[in-house]
């Protein structure tokens, strides 16, 4: 794991519990979490299920990152695809301390919001990143929400 804010530690987190096949994470500070044994290169498809519990008044973003390099150093690089309560997504990059936006916060009907979950205890979203030879596609719950070319 790596936190965005210098000086943040695991002690600042509210919860980090292994729940196969993944984790249950309730953070204080923003950060990234990864398993170094999981990687992909070239053309790939990465998919994750994320469950949003009652966010209260918080609109924290959550999602998937990919294309990581030097994740523990000052020259860290990766791209990320996030959702937040209210049915919005964003696509950004991290290049050291810089975080250029590739697709700004955008509302999309495919993004399940906690407020629209019905009788369910959580709002489930499936985020997919499809990296092709010339484009990267971003999907939520099977619907394409953005395409970026080129990513880097």
Kindly indicate the confidence band of residue 23, based on its pLDDT and cuts at 50, 70 and 90.
low
Peptide bond before 74: cis, by omega within 30 degrees of 0? no
Interval 88-135: pLDDT, tens: 999 999 998 899 999 999 999 999 988 888 888 888 899 999 999 999
The whole-angstrom separation of Cα 22 and Cα 3 is 19
Say yes or no to pLDDT of 15 above 90: no
Average pLDDT value for residue range 9-29: 65
The whole-angstrom separation of Cα 140 and Cα 128 is 6
Q: What percent of the chain has pLDDT over 90?
A: 36
Domains, the chain, ranges and CATH? Answer: 1-33 (no CATH), 40-148 (2.60.120.560)
- pTM listed for this prediction: 0.81
pLDDT the model gives residue 51 = 83
């Amino acid at each position: 794991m790596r936190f965005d804010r210098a000086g943040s530690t695991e002690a600042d987190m509210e919860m980090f519990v292994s729940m196969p096949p993944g984790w249950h994470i309730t953070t204080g500070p923003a950060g990234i979490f990864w398993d170094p044994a999981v990687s992909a290169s070239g053309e790939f498809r990465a998919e994750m299920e994320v469950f949003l519990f009652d966010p209260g008044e918080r609109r924290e973003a959550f999602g998937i990152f990919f294309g990581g390099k030097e994740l523990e150093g000052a020259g860290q690089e990766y791209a990320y695809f996030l959702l937040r309560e209210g049915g919005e997504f964003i696509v950004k990059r991290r290049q050291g301390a810089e975080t250029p936006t590739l697709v700004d916060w955008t509302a999309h009907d495919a993004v399940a919001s906690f407020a629209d979950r019905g009788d369910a205890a959580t709002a489930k979203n499936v985020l997919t990143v499809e990296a092709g030879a010339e484009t990267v596609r971003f999907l939520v719950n099977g619907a394409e929400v953005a395409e970026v070319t080129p990513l880097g």
